[in-house]
Amino acid sequence: MSKFDSIIVGSGINSLVCAAVMAKRGKKVCVLEREAQLGGCIRTEPLTAPGYLHDTMSTAHPLFVTSPGYAELKDALHANGLTYVNSNAPTGVLLSDGRSFVLRRSREENVRAMNALAPGDGDAYQEGLAFVEKNAELIFALLGNELWSSQIGKMMLGRVWKQGAHETVGFFSPAMQSARAWLDTHFKSDLVKAVLAPWVLHTGLGPESPMSALMAQVIAFTLEGVGLPLVQGGNARTVDAFKAIVEKAGGEFHTNADVAEILLQGGKAQGVRCADGREWQARNVICNVTPTQLYGRLIPASATPDTLRRQAAEYRYGKGNMQIHVALSAPPQWANKELDEVVYLHLTPGMDGVSRAVNEAERGLLPAEGTVVVCNPTQLDASRAPAGGAVLWIQLPECPRHIKGDALGQIAAPADGKWNDDIRERYADRVMERLGKFIPNLQQSIVGRTVISPGDLEKLNMNLVGGDPYSGECSVDQYMFWRPLRGTKDHATPVKNLYHIGASTHPGPGLGGASGFHVANSLAKK
């Protein structure tokens, strides 16, 4: 039986970053994946028709290309086949009445366009992003670094020394503001509000959530800076590049390896046992799982305090997510031609519509008019479809995990509250009919469709409980210092040599890999 420096349970982005950083620094690592293929939420598959490649779950990489993991690994990743494509029009919004607005990678253009819609709106946008720029060191430290660290402590003390306690504390007032409060206070145009508000959904929040204003500002800042990079040839190329780095350094990957138990000796983690009886030994064990799995299944109950197990059992999961993957014989022809170059488009009634859909989903209802995210990767990467064809990646971020009803009263709720094939397809039909009003050639161009419900997402990846793509609700009490649990700090666990990474841990969800990087950076020094 091989002895490794570290065993990593799960193969999502945080696991891949963790494995590659440690491998690059001379550590022998082993990655164990429960499913038949590597990557966690990073997959590219022919879901619909021959010749069409779809990113099954995640797709764009703005968080990763701005991460410390990418900074360290980018040369090796690109040498092993990772290539990005991008657009100068990363996002836009299409309102139900047919009006649209495109956000570009130019601050000057965005300010000018917003001021043209409503005098002063562009200036307010500039002010919001200036807040991010002025406080960038603090914001990105809090959102990306280990919070229980001397580095954060020193930075906060230095800020108090330079600016005073009152101004330092004053930062947190606008930082804790909801997106609605910021947008309603500073903007007049419903189009400007609508292009910014839906982006908070991609952080697991809603327009009324605390900190959602800061998230909207940070995202706009990021979109201007790096756009929405897509992987040439499909997102799975990311996994291939990471795998090559690790294996060239002597590391190993094993699929169909369902870890059932953390092996302990003298109160320390020393390896894992899989459900099929196989055992693996290592100096450290790193788990990319939910707190529910870690403390409820993998760690023996005797090794953790009762309070921590209770907190893990009470850990809450957020809204469900649904996807529609469509193969087209021809590119979508938007009625609004300016939308042709947009990478991520939000179709929504507006900010109030986003709020309403979030509320309906949280109450267990199929939203009447939920936000529809539309990405056309073939616009930037023709290799994903046969000549002349296209693929659409459609995301519905406001879905109930357990169905209690339909806001429109058209689809009966199942007795058990679970998603089934009939509800999945009927709800997808509703979305496609709505989308077809703005893409005249949509219905006639469809050659294949695959719908993935919240229930299907959980089957694909057990960390997506109830179809929650963020592995846990991102409310204030489950975020930053309190993610994953109140009783833990950063990525440590009560068990020595056992570490916790992934979307359930700080800095939370998104294809960034920060938690994996920080643990790797710490262990690589030992």
- Render 469-510 in DSSP notation, one character per residue: TTSS--SGGGSGGGSS-TT--TTB-SSBTEEEESTTSTT-SS
> Which among 184, 186, 202 is positioned nearest to 131, based on CA atoms?
186
CB 273, CB 258: distance < 8 Å: no
- pLDDT of 152 reads 74
- d(CA 503, CA 516) in angstroms, rounded, equals 10
- pLDDT of 162 reads 79
- pLDDT of 389 reads 97
Residue 194 lies in a domain: yes
| Residues 440 and 508 both lie in one domain | no
pLDDT in tens, 283-332: 999 999 999 999 999 999 999 999 999 999 999 999 999 999 999 999 99
Q: What is the tally of structural domains in the chain? A: 3
What residues pair up with 326 in beta bridges, in sequence order?
A: 392, 449
pLDDT in tens, 244-297: 999 999 999 999 999 999 999 999 999 999 999 999 999 999 999 999 999 999
Residue 275 lies in a domain: yes
Mean pLDDT of the region 387-393: 97
> Which among 358, 319, 311 is positioned nearest to 483, based on CA atoms?
311
Confidence of residue 165 (pLDDT cuts 50, 70, 90): confident
- d(CA 350, CA 191) in angstroms, rounded, equals 7
| Residues 214 and 288 both lie in one domain | no
| Residues 299 and 374 both lie in one domain | no
Residue 362's alpha-carbon distances to 25, 400, 425, 451, in angstroms, are 44, 6, 21, 21
- pLDDT of 3 reads 86
Confidence of residue 2 (pLDDT cuts 50, 70, 90): low
- pLDDT of 166 reads 78
Whether the per-residue pLDDT at 353 is higher than 80: the answer is yes
Q: Which residue has the higher pLDDT, 510 or 221?
A: 221
* Helix 13-24 with 514-523: angle, nearest 10 deg: 30
- d(CA 463, CA 364) in angstroms, rounded, equals 20
Give kind and range of the element (H or E) at residue 419.
none
CATH number assigned to the domain comprising residue 509: 3.50.50.60
**Parallel/antiparallel/unpaired status of strands 372-375 and 446-452:** unpaired
Q: Which residue has the higher pLDDT, 238 or 481?
A: 238
- d(CA 148, CA 155) in angstroms, rounded, equals 12
Contacts of 429 (CB under 8 A, 6+ apart): none
| Residues 121 and 177 both lie in one domain | yes
- Picking from 207, 226, 245, the residue at the C-terminal end of a domain is 226
- Domain carrying residue 370: 316-460
- pLDDT of 148 reads 77
CB 47, CB 56: distance < 8 Å: yes
Residue 260 lies in a domain: yes
Tell me phi and psi for residue 439, to 5 degrees.
Answer: -125, 90
Whether the per-residue pLDDT at 463 is higher than 60: the answer is yes
- Picking from 183, 203, 226, the residue at the C-terminal end of a domain is 226
Instruction: Count the Cβ atoms, other than its own, within 10 Å of residue 449.
Output: 19
DSSP state of 386: S
Confidence of residue 138 (pLDDT cuts 50, 70, 90): confident
Mind spelling out the 3-state secondary structure of 236-263?
HHHHHHHHHHHHHCCCEEECCCCEEEEE
The tokens for 71 are 């900074």
Q: What is the pTM of this model?
A: 0.94
Provide the terminal-to-terminal Cα distance of the chain, rounded to the nearest Å: 23
Mean pLDDT of the region 365-389: 97
Residue 309 lies in a domain: yes
Contacts of 102 (CB under 8 A, 6+ apart): 89, 91, 92, 113, 338, 339, 341, 342
| Residues 244 and 374 both lie in one domain | no
- d(CA 262, CA 32) in angstroms, rounded, equals 13
pLDDT in tens, 336-348: 999 999 999 999 9
Whether the per-residue pLDDT at 513 is higher than 90: the answer is yes
pLDDT in tens, 80-103: 999 999 999 999 999 999 999 999
- pLDDT of 437 reads 96
| Residues 290 and 321 both lie in one domain | no
What residues pair up with 446 in beta bridges, in sequence order?
A: 328
- pLDDT of 415 reads 96
Residue 168 lies in a domain: yes
Residue 98 lies in a domain: no
Contacts of 514 (CB under 8 A, 6+ apart): 14, 67, 68, 69, 144, 507
The tokens for 521 are 């950076």
| Residues 347 and 381 both lie in one domain | yes
Confidence of residue 155 (pLDDT cuts 50, 70, 90): confident
| Residues 323 and 456 both lie in one domain | yes
What residues pair up with 499 in beta bridges, in sequence order?
A: 286, 492
| Residues 423 and 298 both lie in one domain | no
| Residues 338 and 447 both lie in one domain | yes
Whether the per-residue pLDDT at 1 is higher than 60: the answer is no
pLDDT in tens, 16-58: 999 999 999 999 999 999 999 999 999 999 999 999 999 999 9
Instruction: Count the Cβ atoms, other than its own, within 10 Å of residue 275.
Output: 12
Whether the per-residue pLDDT at 147 is higher than 80: the answer is no
Instruction: Count the Cβ atoms, other than its own, within 10 Å of residue 246.
Output: 24
- d(CA 128, CA 130) in angstroms, rounded, equals 5
Mind spelling out the 3-state secondary structure of 44-76?
EECCCCCCCCEECCCCCCHHHHCCHHHHHHHHH
| Residues 308 and 323 both lie in one domain | no
CATH number assigned to the domain comprising residue 445: 3.90.660
Residue 406 lies in a domain: yes
What share of the chain has pLDDT > 90, as a percent?
88
Residue 10 lies in a domain: yes
- Picking from 460, 482, 500, the residue at the C-terminal end of a domain is 460
CB 33, CB 5: distance < 8 Å: no
Least confident of 2-6, 52-56, 115-119: 2-6
| Residues 35 and 165 both lie in one domain | no
What share of the chain has pLDDT > 70, as a percent?
100
Mean pLDDT of the region 381-407: 97
